[in-house]
Amino acid sequence: MSDKLAFIDIETTGSSMLHDRIIEIGIIRVEDDQVSEVFETLINPQTYVSPFITELTGITSQEVEQAPPFEEIEAKVHNLLKDCTFVAHNVRFDYGFVKNEFKRLGRNFSSELMCTVRLSRKLFPHHTRHNLDAIIKRHDIQCENRHRALGDAKVIWEFYQKIRRKFNSKTLDKAFDWVMRKPSLPFLLNPEVLENIPESCGVYIFYGENDLPLYVGKSVNMKERVLTRLTNDHHSAKESSISAQLRRIEWIQTIGELGAHILESSKIKDLQPVYNRKIRFDTACEKTRVQAWPYKGVISVLENDIDGNGECHFIDKWCYMGSSKSEGDGEHSTFSSSQVFDYDIYKIVASYLKKKGNKRSIKVIGREDFSTSSVFEEYSQEVRY
Protein backbone atom coordinates (compact mmCIF):
# COMPACT_ATOMS: atom_id res chain seq x y z
CA MET A 1 0.00 0.00 0.00
CA SER A 2 1.21 3.51 -0.83
CA ASP A 3 2.40 5.80 1.99
CA LYS A 4 0.13 8.41 0.41
CA LEU A 5 -3.55 8.00 1.26
CA ALA A 6 -6.62 10.00 0.24
CA PHE A 7 -9.55 9.63 2.62
CA ILE A 8 -12.58 10.61 0.61
CA ASP A 9 -16.33 10.88 0.93
CA ILE A 10 -18.96 12.20 -1.44
CA GLU A 11 -22.62 13.14 -1.33
CA THR A 12 -24.67 12.47 -4.46
CA THR A 13 -28.09 13.03 -6.02
CA GLY A 14 -28.80 9.29 -5.77
CA SER A 15 -27.28 5.82 -5.90
CA SER A 16 -26.91 5.28 -9.67
CA MET A 17 -23.31 5.81 -10.79
CA LEU A 18 -24.50 6.17 -14.39
CA HIS A 19 -27.27 8.71 -13.93
CA ASP A 20 -26.74 10.46 -10.59
CA ARG A 21 -24.07 13.07 -9.87
CA ILE A 22 -21.80 14.24 -7.05
CA ILE A 23 -23.05 17.27 -5.09
CA GLU A 24 -20.26 17.45 -2.49
CA ILE A 25 -16.77 16.04 -2.09
CA GLY A 26 -14.41 15.96 0.88
CA ILE A 27 -10.79 14.79 0.66
CA ILE A 28 -8.11 14.41 3.33
CA ARG A 29 -4.72 13.73 1.76
CA VAL A 30 -2.27 12.00 4.11
CA GLU A 31 1.45 11.49 3.45
CA ASP A 32 3.67 9.56 5.86
CA ASP A 33 0.84 9.51 8.43
CA GLN A 34 0.52 13.31 8.38
CA VAL A 35 -2.33 15.31 6.89
CA SER A 36 -0.88 17.28 3.99
CA GLU A 37 -4.07 18.87 2.62
CA VAL A 38 -7.80 19.04 3.31
CA PHE A 39 -10.32 19.92 0.61
CA GLU A 40 -14.10 20.22 0.51
CA THR A 41 -16.57 21.82 -1.85
CA LEU A 42 -20.15 21.63 -3.01
CA ILE A 43 -20.48 20.70 -6.68
CA ASN A 44 -23.14 21.77 -9.14
CA PRO A 45 -24.56 18.46 -10.45
CA GLN A 46 -26.45 20.29 -13.21
CA THR A 47 -29.52 18.35 -12.18
CA TYR A 48 -32.17 18.31 -9.47
CA VAL A 49 -31.47 17.55 -5.80
CA SER A 50 -34.43 15.59 -4.43
CA PRO A 51 -36.16 16.39 -1.10
CA PHE A 52 -34.91 13.03 0.23
CA ILE A 53 -31.27 13.97 -0.40
CA THR A 54 -31.86 17.44 1.06
CA GLU A 55 -33.38 15.91 4.20
CA LEU A 56 -30.47 13.47 4.53
CA THR A 57 -27.62 15.90 3.88
CA GLY A 58 -29.06 19.37 4.32
CA ILE A 59 -27.83 20.25 0.81
CA THR A 60 -30.40 22.07 -1.34
CA SER A 61 -30.75 22.66 -5.07
CA GLN A 62 -30.32 26.38 -4.44
CA GLU A 63 -26.96 25.82 -2.73
CA VAL A 64 -25.47 23.65 -5.48
CA GLU A 65 -26.68 26.02 -8.21
CA GLN A 66 -24.08 28.48 -6.92
CA ALA A 67 -21.33 25.82 -6.67
CA PRO A 68 -18.74 25.02 -9.36
CA PRO A 69 -19.43 22.08 -11.71
CA PHE A 70 -17.00 19.17 -11.50
CA GLU A 71 -15.09 20.34 -14.56
CA GLU A 72 -13.97 23.46 -12.66
CA ILE A 73 -12.47 21.44 -9.78
CA GLU A 74 -11.34 18.45 -11.84
CA ALA A 75 -7.66 19.45 -11.85
CA LYS A 76 -7.66 20.10 -8.10
CA VAL A 77 -9.31 16.76 -7.32
CA HIS A 78 -6.98 14.89 -9.66
CA ASN A 79 -3.89 16.42 -8.03
CA LEU A 80 -5.17 15.55 -4.54
CA LEU A 81 -5.80 11.93 -5.52
CA LYS A 82 -2.66 11.51 -7.62
CA ASP A 83 -0.33 8.71 -6.43
CA CYS A 84 -2.64 7.99 -3.47
CA THR A 85 -4.48 4.93 -2.29
CA PHE A 86 -8.16 5.88 -2.55
CA VAL A 87 -9.70 5.17 0.88
CA ALA A 88 -13.45 5.29 1.45
CA HIS A 89 -16.26 3.57 3.31
CA ASN A 90 -17.83 1.28 0.70
CA VAL A 91 -15.08 2.42 -1.65
CA ARG A 92 -16.65 1.16 -4.88
CA PHE A 93 -19.49 3.65 -4.47
CA ASP A 94 -17.27 6.73 -4.05
CA TYR A 95 -14.68 5.53 -6.56
CA GLY A 96 -17.33 4.73 -9.18
CA PHE A 97 -18.86 8.19 -8.96
CA VAL A 98 -15.51 9.99 -9.04
CA LYS A 99 -14.31 7.86 -11.96
CA ASN A 100 -17.48 8.60 -13.92
CA GLU A 101 -17.16 12.34 -13.30
CA PHE A 102 -13.68 12.19 -14.83
CA LYS A 103 -14.97 10.03 -17.67
CA ARG A 104 -17.64 12.60 -18.57
CA LEU A 105 -14.78 15.04 -19.14
CA GLY A 106 -12.89 12.56 -21.33
CA ARG A 107 -10.26 11.81 -18.69
CA ASN A 108 -9.29 8.38 -17.39
CA PHE A 109 -8.85 7.93 -13.67
CA SER A 110 -7.74 4.85 -11.80
CA SER A 111 -6.36 4.25 -8.35
CA GLU A 112 -5.45 1.60 -5.82
CA LEU A 113 -8.45 1.15 -3.52
CA MET A 114 -8.97 0.41 0.17
CA CYS A 115 -12.45 -0.10 1.63
CA THR A 116 -12.88 0.67 5.35
CA VAL A 117 -16.06 -1.43 5.46
CA ARG A 118 -14.04 -4.50 4.49
CA LEU A 119 -11.24 -3.42 6.81
CA SER A 120 -13.64 -3.20 9.75
CA ARG A 121 -15.09 -6.62 8.96
CA LYS A 122 -11.62 -8.15 8.84
CA LEU A 123 -10.38 -6.60 12.08
CA PHE A 124 -13.64 -6.85 14.05
CA PRO A 125 -15.31 -10.04 12.76
CA HIS A 126 -17.33 -10.53 15.96
CA HIS A 127 -19.39 -7.43 15.14
CA THR A 128 -22.26 -7.69 12.67
CA ARG A 129 -22.65 -4.02 11.72
CA HIS A 130 -19.92 -2.07 9.96
CA ASN A 131 -21.70 0.98 8.57
CA LEU A 132 -20.36 4.42 9.43
CA ASP A 133 -22.81 4.99 12.27
CA ALA A 134 -21.80 1.68 13.88
CA ILE A 135 -18.11 2.55 13.56
CA ILE A 136 -18.67 6.01 15.07
CA LYS A 137 -20.41 4.49 18.09
CA ARG A 138 -18.11 1.48 18.50
CA HIS A 139 -14.88 3.48 18.40
CA ASP A 140 -16.15 6.61 20.13
CA ILE A 141 -15.46 8.84 17.16
CA GLN A 142 -16.74 12.39 17.16
CA CYS A 143 -18.51 13.41 13.95
CA GLU A 144 -19.26 17.09 13.65
CA ASN A 145 -21.26 16.86 10.44
CA ARG A 146 -22.73 13.46 9.61
CA HIS A 147 -23.84 12.88 6.01
CA ARG A 148 -21.61 15.68 4.80
CA ALA A 149 -18.58 14.82 2.72
CA LEU A 150 -15.74 16.19 4.82
CA GLY A 151 -17.41 15.22 8.11
CA ASP A 152 -17.64 11.59 7.00
CA ALA A 153 -14.12 11.65 5.50
CA LYS A 154 -12.81 12.77 8.89
CA VAL A 155 -14.53 9.78 10.50
CA ILE A 156 -12.77 7.22 8.30
CA TRP A 157 -9.43 9.03 8.81
CA GLU A 158 -9.90 8.84 12.59
CA PHE A 159 -10.98 5.19 12.33
CA TYR A 160 -7.76 4.48 10.43
CA GLN A 161 -5.69 6.20 13.14
CA LYS A 162 -7.45 4.25 15.89
CA ILE A 163 -6.79 0.85 14.32
CA ARG A 164 -3.15 1.83 13.76
CA ARG A 165 -2.86 2.36 17.53
CA LYS A 166 -4.90 -0.72 18.47
CA PHE A 167 -3.25 -3.43 16.34
CA ASN A 168 0.38 -4.36 15.74
CA SER A 169 1.93 -3.91 12.31
CA LYS A 170 1.82 -7.62 11.47
CA THR A 171 -1.93 -7.81 12.05
CA LEU A 172 -2.55 -4.61 10.14
CA ASP A 173 -0.38 -5.60 7.19
CA LYS A 174 -2.26 -8.87 6.94
CA ALA A 175 -5.61 -7.03 7.06
CA PHE A 176 -4.49 -4.48 4.47
CA ASP A 177 -3.28 -7.25 2.17
CA TRP A 178 -6.63 -9.04 2.52
CA VAL A 179 -8.69 -5.91 1.87
CA MET A 180 -6.61 -4.84 -1.13
CA ARG A 181 -5.73 -8.25 -2.49
CA LYS A 182 -5.54 -8.65 -6.23
CA PRO A 183 -6.81 -11.75 -8.02
CA SER A 184 -4.42 -14.57 -8.72
CA LEU A 185 -4.87 -14.99 -12.44
CA PRO A 186 -5.46 -18.37 -14.04
CA PHE A 187 -2.17 -19.61 -15.43
CA LEU A 188 -3.20 -19.58 -19.09
CA LEU A 189 -5.05 -16.25 -19.04
CA ASN A 190 -3.27 -13.24 -20.52
CA PRO A 191 -2.96 -10.62 -17.71
CA GLU A 192 -3.58 -7.79 -20.19
CA VAL A 193 -7.14 -9.05 -20.62
CA LEU A 194 -8.19 -7.68 -17.23
CA GLU A 195 -6.85 -4.23 -18.05
CA ASN A 196 -8.98 -4.09 -21.18
CA ILE A 197 -12.30 -5.10 -19.62
CA PRO A 198 -14.44 -1.94 -19.42
CA GLU A 199 -15.86 -0.67 -16.14
CA SER A 200 -19.30 -0.43 -17.68
CA CYS A 201 -22.54 -2.33 -18.06
CA GLY A 202 -22.60 -5.49 -20.11
CA VAL A 203 -22.18 -9.25 -20.41
CA TYR A 204 -18.95 -11.20 -20.00
CA ILE A 205 -18.22 -14.74 -21.20
CA PHE A 206 -15.58 -17.13 -19.84
CA TYR A 207 -14.15 -19.63 -22.32
CA GLY A 208 -12.07 -22.72 -21.67
CA GLU A 209 -9.97 -24.96 -23.88
CA ASN A 210 -11.07 -25.10 -27.54
CA ASP A 211 -13.33 -22.09 -26.83
CA LEU A 212 -15.69 -24.14 -24.68
CA PRO A 213 -18.16 -21.68 -23.07
CA LEU A 214 -17.73 -21.99 -19.31
CA TYR A 215 -19.82 -19.19 -17.86
CA VAL A 216 -21.90 -16.18 -18.92
CA GLY A 217 -22.48 -13.32 -16.49
CA LYS A 218 -23.69 -9.73 -16.43
CA SER A 219 -22.84 -6.65 -14.39
CA VAL A 220 -23.19 -2.88 -14.30
CA ASN A 221 -19.39 -2.93 -13.88
CA MET A 222 -17.92 -5.85 -15.79
CA LYS A 223 -14.31 -5.29 -14.71
CA GLU A 224 -15.22 -5.22 -11.02
CA ARG A 225 -17.39 -8.34 -11.30
CA VAL A 226 -14.74 -10.33 -13.18
CA LEU A 227 -12.04 -9.29 -10.69
CA THR A 228 -14.33 -10.30 -7.82
CA ARG A 229 -14.97 -13.72 -9.35
CA LEU A 230 -11.25 -14.33 -9.83
CA THR A 231 -10.45 -13.08 -6.32
CA ASN A 232 -13.02 -15.43 -4.81
CA ASP A 233 -12.06 -18.43 -6.92
CA HIS A 234 -11.15 -20.44 -3.82
CA HIS A 235 -14.50 -19.98 -2.10
CA SER A 236 -16.30 -22.81 -3.92
CA ALA A 237 -15.56 -25.85 -6.04
CA LYS A 238 -17.43 -24.23 -8.95
CA GLU A 239 -15.33 -21.05 -8.89
CA SER A 240 -12.11 -23.01 -8.56
CA SER A 241 -13.03 -25.21 -11.50
CA ILE A 242 -13.90 -22.23 -13.71
CA SER A 243 -10.61 -20.53 -12.80
CA ALA A 244 -8.59 -23.65 -13.55
CA GLN A 245 -10.11 -23.99 -17.02
CA LEU A 246 -10.30 -20.30 -17.98
CA ARG A 247 -8.42 -19.43 -21.17
CA ARG A 248 -10.21 -16.41 -22.62
CA ILE A 249 -12.68 -13.70 -21.61
CA GLU A 250 -15.04 -11.98 -24.01
CA TRP A 251 -17.33 -9.09 -23.19
CA ILE A 252 -20.18 -7.18 -24.81
CA GLN A 253 -21.03 -3.70 -23.58
CA THR A 254 -24.66 -2.67 -23.20
CA ILE A 255 -26.17 0.76 -22.68
CA GLY A 256 -28.01 -0.21 -19.50
CA GLU A 257 -28.87 -2.93 -17.02
CA LEU A 258 -32.06 -4.13 -18.71
CA GLY A 259 -30.18 -4.70 -21.95
CA ALA A 260 -27.51 -6.65 -20.04
CA HIS A 261 -30.14 -8.88 -18.41
CA ILE A 262 -31.78 -9.65 -21.74
CA LEU A 263 -28.48 -10.26 -23.53
CA GLU A 264 -27.24 -12.55 -20.73
CA SER A 265 -30.39 -14.68 -20.99
CA SER A 266 -30.00 -14.93 -24.76
CA LYS A 267 -26.29 -15.85 -24.57
CA ILE A 268 -26.90 -18.56 -21.96
CA LYS A 269 -29.53 -20.15 -24.19
CA ASP A 270 -27.35 -19.89 -27.29
CA LEU A 271 -24.03 -21.00 -25.77
CA GLN A 272 -25.26 -23.41 -23.06
CA PRO A 273 -22.19 -22.70 -20.87
CA VAL A 274 -21.05 -25.49 -18.58
CA TYR A 275 -21.34 -23.66 -15.25
CA ASN A 276 -24.50 -21.58 -15.64
CA ARG A 277 -27.69 -22.71 -14.02
CA LYS A 278 -29.79 -24.18 -16.78
CA ILE A 279 -32.32 -21.57 -17.87
CA ARG A 280 -35.82 -22.94 -17.99
CA PHE A 281 -37.81 -22.73 -21.16
CA ASP A 282 -41.49 -21.85 -20.77
CA THR A 283 -43.89 -24.63 -19.90
CA ALA A 284 -47.65 -24.72 -19.43
CA CYS A 285 -47.10 -24.75 -15.66
CA GLU A 286 -44.95 -21.63 -15.81
CA LYS A 287 -47.43 -19.78 -18.01
CA THR A 288 -50.15 -20.19 -15.43
CA ARG A 289 -48.09 -18.00 -13.07
CA VAL A 290 -47.61 -15.18 -15.55
CA GLN A 291 -49.19 -11.85 -14.62
CA ALA A 292 -51.45 -9.97 -17.00
CA TRP A 293 -49.65 -7.49 -19.24
CA PRO A 294 -50.17 -4.12 -17.48
CA TYR A 295 -50.02 -1.88 -20.57
CA LYS A 296 -52.42 -1.18 -23.44
CA GLY A 297 -49.88 -1.71 -26.15
CA VAL A 298 -46.18 -2.05 -26.80
CA ILE A 299 -43.81 -0.29 -24.40
CA SER A 300 -40.46 1.28 -25.19
CA VAL A 301 -37.92 1.30 -22.37
CA LEU A 302 -35.20 3.92 -22.77
CA GLU A 303 -31.71 3.44 -21.32
CA ASN A 304 -28.84 5.94 -21.53
CA ASP A 305 -25.21 5.84 -20.47
CA ILE A 306 -22.86 8.60 -19.34
CA ASP A 307 -21.33 8.93 -22.83
CA GLY A 308 -24.62 10.07 -24.37
CA ASN A 309 -25.44 6.73 -26.01
CA GLY A 310 -28.98 5.43 -25.81
CA GLU A 311 -31.03 2.33 -26.49
CA CYS A 312 -34.78 1.74 -26.66
CA HIS A 313 -36.06 -1.77 -25.88
CA PHE A 314 -39.50 -2.72 -27.24
CA ILE A 315 -41.66 -5.19 -25.31
CA ASP A 316 -45.24 -6.37 -25.76
CA LYS A 317 -47.18 -8.88 -23.66
CA TRP A 318 -43.88 -9.82 -21.92
CA CYS A 319 -42.28 -10.66 -25.29
CA TYR A 320 -39.06 -8.90 -26.31
CA MET A 321 -39.54 -7.33 -29.74
CA GLY A 322 -36.11 -5.80 -30.28
CA SER A 323 -34.18 -2.58 -29.76
CA SER A 324 -32.99 0.60 -31.40
CA LYS A 325 -29.54 1.83 -30.39
CA SER A 326 -27.70 5.10 -30.94
CA GLU A 327 -23.92 5.08 -30.33
CA GLY A 328 -21.62 7.87 -31.38
CA ASP A 329 -22.59 8.94 -34.89
CA GLY A 330 -24.34 5.70 -35.82
CA GLU A 331 -27.65 3.97 -35.24
CA HIS A 332 -28.67 0.37 -35.60
CA SER A 333 -31.73 -1.68 -34.79
CA THR A 334 -32.70 -5.27 -34.20
CA PHE A 335 -36.31 -6.39 -34.52
CA SER A 336 -38.33 -9.59 -34.47
CA SER A 337 -41.87 -9.67 -35.84
CA SER A 338 -42.61 -12.93 -34.02
CA GLN A 339 -43.82 -12.72 -30.45
CA VAL A 340 -42.30 -15.75 -28.74
CA PHE A 341 -42.93 -15.97 -25.01
CA ASP A 342 -39.80 -16.64 -22.95
CA TYR A 343 -40.26 -17.20 -19.23
CA ASP A 344 -36.82 -15.84 -18.36
CA ILE A 345 -37.46 -12.64 -20.32
CA TYR A 346 -40.79 -12.39 -18.49
CA LYS A 347 -39.02 -12.56 -15.11
CA ILE A 348 -36.42 -9.97 -16.18
CA VAL A 349 -39.03 -7.50 -17.46
CA ALA A 350 -41.41 -8.06 -14.53
CA SER A 351 -38.59 -7.40 -12.06
CA TYR A 352 -37.58 -4.25 -13.97
CA LEU A 353 -41.15 -2.90 -13.98
CA LYS A 354 -41.50 -3.36 -10.21
CA LYS A 355 -38.84 -0.74 -9.51
CA LYS A 356 -40.53 2.64 -9.21
CA GLY A 357 -37.61 4.61 -10.58
CA ASN A 358 -37.75 2.70 -13.87
CA LYS A 359 -41.28 3.89 -14.70
CA ARG A 360 -39.87 7.20 -15.91
CA SER A 361 -38.08 5.47 -18.81
CA ILE A 362 -41.23 3.74 -20.15
CA LYS A 363 -43.47 4.98 -22.96
CA VAL A 364 -46.55 3.19 -24.25
CA ILE A 365 -46.99 2.80 -28.01
CA GLY A 366 -50.30 1.80 -29.60
CA ARG A 367 -50.04 -1.56 -31.33
CA GLU A 368 -51.58 -0.11 -34.47
CA ASP A 369 -48.69 2.39 -34.57
CA PHE A 370 -46.00 -0.22 -34.03
CA SER A 371 -44.49 -1.71 -37.17
CA THR A 372 -41.07 -2.74 -38.40
CA SER A 373 -41.17 -0.06 -41.06
CA SER A 374 -41.96 2.97 -38.93
CA VAL A 375 -41.34 2.47 -35.25
CA PHE A 376 -37.56 2.66 -35.24
CA GLU A 377 -37.51 5.76 -37.42
CA GLU A 378 -39.89 7.46 -34.99
CA TYR A 379 -38.27 6.32 -31.75
CA SER A 380 -34.62 6.52 -32.81
CA GLN A 381 -34.82 10.22 -32.01
CA GLU A 382 -35.56 9.33 -28.37
CA VAL A 383 -32.36 7.40 -27.79
CA ARG A 384 -30.32 10.60 -28.05
CA TYR A 385 -29.92 13.16 -25.29
Residue type, 342: D
Q: For residues 311-326, give the mean pLDDT.
A: 88
Each residue's pLDDT tens digit, 180-237: 876 667 777 877 788 889 888 999 999 998 999 999 999 999 988 898 887 665 556 7
Residues 6+ apart with CB under 8 A from 264: 203, 216, 217, 218
Burial annotation 312-347 (CB, 10 A radius, 16+ → b, else e): bbbbbebbbbbbbbbbeeebebeeeeeeeebbbbbb
- Please state the length of the chain: 385
Output phi, psi for 162, to 5 deg. -65, -40
Q: Could you tell me the pTM of the whole model?
A: 0.66
Residue of 384 and 40 predicted with greater confidence: 40
Contact between residue 49 and residue 61 where contact means Cβ atoms under 8 Å apart: yes
Say what percent of the chain tops pLDDT 90. Answer: 56
Render pLDDT for 96-105 as a digit per residue (tens, 0 to 9): 899 989 989 9
Rounded Cα–Cα distance for residues 220 and 311 (Å): 15
8 A C-beta contact, residue 279 and residue 265: yes
* Adjacency order of strands within the sheet including 310-316: 330-335, 319-327, 310-316, 298-304, 362-365
Q: Average pLDDT of the chain? A: 86
Q: Tell me which of 112-126, 260-274, 305-319, 320-334 is least confident.
A: 320-334
At residue 302, the 3 state secondary structure works out as strand
Residue 370 pLDDT grade (very low, low, confident, very high; cuts 50, 70, 90): low
Which residue segments constitute the domains of the chain, with CATH numbers given?
A: 4-179 (3.30.420.10), 192-271 (3.40.1440.10), 284-383 (no CATH)
Report whether pLDDT(9) > 80: yes
Within 8 A by CB and 6+ apart from 129, the residues are: none
What pLDDT is stored for residue 92 in this prediction?
A: 84
Q: Chain-centre distance of CA 293, in angstroms?
A: 30
Q: Please give the backbone phi and psi of residue 305, each rounded to the nearest 5 degrees, phi first.
A: -115, 175
Rounded to whole angstroms, the Cα distance separating 138 from 232 reads 29
Instruction: Give CA–CA dist 158/59, Å, rounded.
Output: 24
Using the predicted structure, report yes or no on whether residue 287 has a pLDDT greater than 60.
no
Nearest to 229 by CA among 174, 275, 291, 289: 275
